[in-house]
Structure 1
Amino acid sequence: MDIAALSTGMSQASLAQAVSVKVLSMAKDQASEQGQALVQMMEKSVQPHLGGQLDIRA
């Protein structure tokens, strides 16, 4: 195998790995944002005064 082909192949592999790492980083950031949005939504939906008493008189 010649040096030029080996160098090109290694460069392509390095680029593919860098792209994979960047895509995974973006996916992690997006999942983190979605998790924070879910937590905020759940905090807004909490109503502690509801369900504390049950009126069963007719």
Structure 2
Amino acid sequence: MDIAAMSTMMSQAKVQQQASISVMKMAMDAGQTQMNDMVQAPVPKGWRRFND
């Protein structure tokens, strides 16, 4: 394999890895937002929060 082809393959692999990391960060942020929304949601009458 010549150097140009190897360079292209390595560059594509790096872009793919960066895209995967970006998607993972987006999923983690969405999960964090959902968790925060659940924690801040009003508690139904007669129920208690875990830390009460």
User: Shorter-chain-normalised TM-score: which range?
Assistant: 0.7 to 0.9
Q: Is the radius of gyration larger for structure 1 or structure 2? A: 1
Q: TM-score, normalised on structure 1? A: 0.72
Shift of 1:25: 0.5
Unaligned runs of 5+ in 1: 51-58
How many residues end up aligned between the 2 structures?
A: 46
CA-atom RMSD in angstroms? 1.1
The superposition leaves residues 10-48 of structure 1 with CA deviations (integer Å, 9 ceiling, x where unpaired) of: 00000000001111001000000000001111xx1254x
Q: TM-score, normalised on structure 2? A: 0.80
Q: Tell me the equivalent position of 1:30.
A: 30
The amino acid that maps onto 2:26 is M
The amino acid that maps onto 2:24 is L
Unaligned runs of 5+ in 2: 47-52
Q: Hey, which bits of structure 1, 4+ residues long, moved more than 3 A?
A: none
